[in-house]
Amino acid sequence: MHVGLRDCRPTSENDLFGVMAGLVPAIYVFVTEGPIRKTWIPATSAGMTACLGPQQTAQGPMAETVSATQEMQVAQVRAILLRSPILTTVFDRWAKIDLPDCWVAAGVLAQTVWNDAFELPLGYGISDVDLVYFDADDLSEDAEAQHSRRIRELFSDLPVWIDVKNEARAHLWYQAKFGFAIRPYISTEDAITTFPTTATAIGLQQEKNQLRLFAPYGLTDLLGSIVRANKKQITRPIYEAKLARWLALWPRLQVVPWDSEPQ
DSSP assignments along 131-174, one per residue: EEE--TT---HHHHHHHHHHHHHHTTTSSSEEEEEEGGGHHHHH
pLDDT of residue 210: 84
Residues 6+ apart with CB under 8 A from 107: 126, 128, 130, 200
Longest alpha-carbon distance in the chain:
51
> How, if at all, do strands 48-52 and 210-215 pair?
parallel
CA distances from 167 to 76, 140, 174, 199, 250 (A): 28, 12, 11, 19, 28
pLDDT of residue 48: 60
Residues 6+ apart with CB under 8 A from 53: 36, 38, 215, 216, 217, 218
The tens-digit pLDDT sequence of the chain (263 residues) is 222 222 232 333 333 333 222 322 222 222 223 334 444 445 444 556 666 665 433 334 444 455 788 888 999 999 999 999 999 999 999 999 999 999 999 999 999 999 999 999 999 999 999 999 999 999 999 999 999 999 999 999 999 999 999 999 999 999 999 899 999 999 999 999 999 999 999 999 998 778 899 999 999 999 999 999 999 998 999 999 999 999 999 999 999 999 887 76
Q: What is the pTM of this model?
A: 0.79
